[in-house]
A and B are shown apart, each in its own frame.
Chain A
Amino acid sequence: MEINVSHGEVMTIEFAGRLDTVSSLELSKRLENEAINEELVVFDMKNTEYISSAGLRLLLALKKDLAKQNKKLEIHNVNNVCQEVFKVTGFINILTIK
């Protein structure tokens, strides 16, 4: 598991590995310490192997937090399995997946 956060015009969160129960906890701890000044946050799943319900929960919480501040979340580079998970869970309808 590897988390990379970069700031700029857009805040980018890169998550490499399996976004499951354990790693979701670590990721949410990491994001709590992150000051988000950007209008847009990109969650880059290029190197994310798969996502379980814990990961989905984290993404929904993040989206909700950002929405409160009128900020947006985009999910980028989703692989087939993650896409299938987003689809079967209906997340495809509430997340902006690019």
Chain B
Amino acid sequence: MKIKFPIILKIGLLGVLASSIAAGVALTVSGVIQTKRSEEALVDNIDQALYSMEYKYTEGETSAALVESLINIKDYILGIYSDEDIHDKTLEDFSSFDEYEAYFKSKQPWIFPRPDAMDGRTEYFQFQADYHELSQMLISAHLASSGRAAYVCFIDEDDDGDRLVFINDSRIFNSDLADSFYHLPSSHYVIQEADYKTEADDEGYAGYMLAGYLTRQVPIYKYETNGEATLVAFLYIEYDTVAIKEQNRKMLLTELGIISGVMVITILVYMLLAHLAITRNLNILTKKTDMISADLKEKREIKPTKLNFKMHDEIASLSSSFELMEQEIANYVSIIKTEAKENERRLADLEVSSKIQLNSLPANKYVDGNLDLVSYIKPAKVVGGDFYDYFYNKDKFVVLIADVSGKGVPAALFMMKAKELIKSKILSGLSLVDAVSEANNELTINNEESLFVTAFIASIDFTNNVMSYVNAGHEKPYIVHQNQVYKLDGDSNFVLGGEENIEYHEEQTRFETNDSIFIFTDGLNESINKEKEEFGYDRIQKTLEDSINLPLEERIELFNANLKKFVGNEEQFDDVTMVTLTRLDNKLHLIYDAKDYSIIEDATDKFMKAYPSINGEIKSKVGIALDELLNNLISYEKKDDLKIELQFEYFKKELKVVITSNSGKFDPFENMIEKYIEEGTDNVEDIVPGGFGISLVASLTKDRSYTYKKGKSIITLIFGE
């Protein structure tokens, strides 16, 4: 997976967020405190300065003289101020401030201590000394207070309203303002209505706020000898709260900048350390995990490696768990691989076993002159416990089906043993019952697994149309006789392999030409569907009735189709085995009493039709033989009342043809000269019907004979594969 939002970034961002909040809160609090403190300090300074000035004017040793000089200044200014012209002039009377300034300069060129204005008048000198003193005082108050300005005003009571008249200002010598407005007469500076007036505080100082500048004031009184006090003037110290705030703001910003810088660096270092301690190691683990996944996917061998984390933290603990896990995976994979190989080998063995087992069973189709047989077996597991067998025991045909208890390899091994035992006992010449008894005894010996076999064993005698059978605890088979289906009743004996010395009983039933038998194992009738119903006997009966006239292959197909339809998707839990056989009509008897070539064609046609299951080449050979021998009889027999009897019998895989006639005694095979056409021969006369044909017949038959008995010539021919 691609990492879009790494942990280290989260840690960093969380750090930034947390420290920002902390720094913000700290800065705000400290800013507020600092502003308040610096304001308080300023006010303290101002108060200190005011107090020292007040002291000088009201209580100090020189106070009376100072007040007197202040009064002189005041009077002097008032003198100028009383000039009607000047008194009534206001800024509104001039078109510009420059004009206004020029006007006043022209009226009182001597007020301010400018070198060019000095003219040596005594009065003025006194004023100048006083004024200079006042200026010095204001400057020192200004400096001591850290305020913006210190100044002195008096109140001019007038009919138009009181005016606060400006006397002197601390900035008079050190400011650009000295040129622009302290050359002006104080009278001009009527203190306009203040933004607000402050109440007197604990120190007894009131003040006012003007254009953002907070001002504190202290009154200066002249004390008469009688104790009366006359207000002379007010001292003011003005200070700038905005500047303080601005200063504090700047300071805060600087602090903020420094703190932010430190914070960023700290966080970067913190992120680096966190990366070294956590994410770098996590990345190593991730890479390692990816490698293991890739190894597993590509089926490569996993080689556990040490991660060697030096720290003893949770990551190191995780990595050691991880190493352990990797080792376990490697072990587990190698175990699985070994097991898979072993399993593969076992499966291969089982498949071979299954093949061996199925190959040990005879073919699923057998047909000869006597019978037609079709079988079907489907093991539930790879190797099964069901089996069937068929074979000739001399002229009798034995067919059997069996079901070994249990499944898998043990059942399969037991099945092989049972199959071979039953067959060998029957072929040893014992009666059916004795063969079964002996097989039972031998299966019982050393049968520690207590496996047993149920079996149905039948032996068909074609000469007397009797089928003998022993049922050792097996499902009862069905017989189809003249389009009727019925269950073959009879005693059930004990199973094989269960107990020694069991007395088995043999039963017999008629089994004629065209009769059919259907034998099966319980895997068929006990197959269950989704509703847990069994396929059952009724369905077997019905399927047989529906397939009476079908070829045996189609009968088995119908069973399979019905079973599949019934069972649906349910798992097959038992082997299903079916064997069905029909006894065929194996004899044909033809009689002719006409001395005519047409009987050859008639006999050949009837023979061809009578044995549909016989191999085509054998039929052709029979056809040739009939043509040669009948032609000889018809052509050379002198008797006119020639009678010919043909008997065909297909038994096992051999066809016997017997030609009986009332012709004279003549053994065609006696002294038979092998007629053979040499290369280059073109003499048709060499090929005389008779001799030549006989040698041809002789070469096409397996065996041939001639007898003459009671006036009858009997030629016997045996054809076979």
Q: Which residues of A contact B (CB under 8 A)?
A: 18, 20-22, 49-54, 56-57, 60-61, 63-64, 67, 80-81, 84-85, 88-91, 93-94
Complex alpha-carbon distance, A35 and B604, angstroms: 33
A50 touches B692 (CB 8 A): no
Known: A60-B682, A60-B687. A89 touches B628 (CB 8 A): no
Complex alpha-carbon distance, A81 and B676, angstroms: 17
Known: A60-B687, A80-B617. A89 touches B600 (CB 8 A): no
A53 touches B682 (CB 8 A): no
Number of B residues, CB within 8 Å of A: 30
Contact of B600 among A22, A57, A84, A94 (CB under 8 A): A22
A1 CB → nearest B CB, Å: 9
A89 touches B601 (CB 8 A): no
B628 touches A93 (CB 8 A): no
Closest chain A residue to B677 by CB distance?
Answer: A90
Q: Mark B613-643, 1 if CB is under 8 A from A, else 0.
A: 0000100110110011001000000000000
State which of B301-309, B464-472, B693-701 sits at the interface with chain A: B693-701
Closest chain A residue to B598 by CB distance?
Answer: A22
A21 touches B597 (CB 8 A): yes
A73 CB → nearest B CB, Å: 11
B515 CB → nearest A CB, Å: 33
A53 touches B689 (CB 8 A): yes
B624 touches A51 (CB 8 A): yes
A54 touches B627 (CB 8 A): yes
- Which B residues lie within 8 Å of A64 (CB)? 682, 684
The reply to whether the CB of B681 lies closer than 8 angstroms to some CB of chain A is yes
A94 touches B700 (CB 8 A): no
Contact of B624 among A50, A61, A94 (CB under 8 A): A50
Complex alpha-carbon distance, A79 and B627, angstroms: 19
The reply to whether the CB of B680 lies closer than 8 angstroms to some CB of chain A is yes
Tell me the number of A-to-B contacts counted with CB atoms below 8 Å.
89
A52 touches B693 (CB 8 A): yes
B598 CB → nearest A CB, Å: 7
A88 touches B687 (CB 8 A): no
Complex alpha-carbon distance, A89 and B631, angstroms: 18
B646 CB → nearest A CB, Å: 16
Known: A56-B687, A61-B684, A89-B696. A81 touches B677 (CB 8 A): no
The reply to whether the CB of B449 lies closer than 8 angstroms to some CB of chain A is no
B623 touches A90 (CB 8 A): no
B600 touches A21 (CB 8 A): yes
Known: A89-B676, A89-B677, A91-B677. A57 touches B684 (CB 8 A): yes
Beyond A54-B627, A56-B692, A84-B700, 16 extra complex contacts between A and B, CB < 8 Å: A20-B627, A21-B597, A49-B620, A50-B620, A52-B628, A52-B631, A52-B696, A53-B693, A56-B687, A57-B689, A64-B684, A81-B617, A85-B624, A89-B675, A91-B677, A94-B681
In the complex, 19 of the A-B residue pairs with CB atoms within 8 angstroms, ordered by the A residue number, are: A18-B623, A20-B600, A21-B597, A21-B689, A22-B600, A22-B601, A50-B620, A52-B627, A52-B628, A53-B696, A54-B627, A54-B631, A56-B692, A61-B684, A81-B617, A81-B624, A91-B677, A93-B678, A94-B680
Complex alpha-carbon distance, A22 and B630, angstroms: 12
The reply to whether the CB of B679 lies closer than 8 angstroms to some CB of chain A is yes
Q: How would you classify the secondary structure of chain A's contact residues: helix, strand, loop or mixed?
A: helix
Closest chain B residue to A1 by CB distance?
Answer: B601
Contact of A57 among B679, B687, B695 (CB under 8 A): B687
B704 CB → nearest A CB, Å: 14
B641 CB → nearest A CB, Å: 21
A50 touches B682 (CB 8 A): no
A60 touches B620 (CB 8 A): no
Complex alpha-carbon distance, A10 and B391, angstroms: 54
B682 touches A94 (CB 8 A): yes
B624 touches A88 (CB 8 A): no
Complex alpha-carbon distance, A22 and B10, angstroms: 109
Complex alpha-carbon distance, A91 and B678, angstroms: 8
B687 touches A53 (CB 8 A): yes
Chain A CB count within 10 A is highest, among B620, B676, B696, for B620
B627 touches A90 (CB 8 A): no
- Which B residues lie within 8 Å of A89 (CB)? 675-677, 692, 695-696
A94 touches B696 (CB 8 A): no
A98 CB → nearest B CB, Å: 17
Closest chain B residue to A86 by CB distance?
Answer: B677
A93 touches B624 (CB 8 A): no
Complex alpha-carbon distance, A81 and B618, angstroms: 9
Complex alpha-carbon distance, A61 and B700, angstroms: 24
A90 touches B676 (CB 8 A): yes
- Which A residues lie within 8 Å of B678 (CB)? 90, 93
A52 touches B624 (CB 8 A): yes
A20 touches B689 (CB 8 A): no
A40 CB → nearest B CB, Å: 18
Chain B CB count within 10 A is highest, among A52, A54, A89, for A52
Closest chain B residue to A23 by CB distance?
Answer: B601
Chain B CB count within 10 A is highest, among A50, A64, A80, for A50
A2 CB → nearest B CB, Å: 14
Closest chain A residue to B622 by CB distance?
Answer: A50
B68 CB → nearest A CB, Å: 166
B679 touches A94 (CB 8 A): yes
- Which A residues lie within 8 Å of B620 (CB)? 49-50, 81
Complex alpha-carbon distance, A18 and B619, angstroms: 11
A41 CB → nearest B CB, Å: 15
B627 CB → nearest A CB, Å: 4
Q: Mark B562-603, 1 if CB is under 8 A from A, else 0.
A: 000000000000000000000000000000000001101100
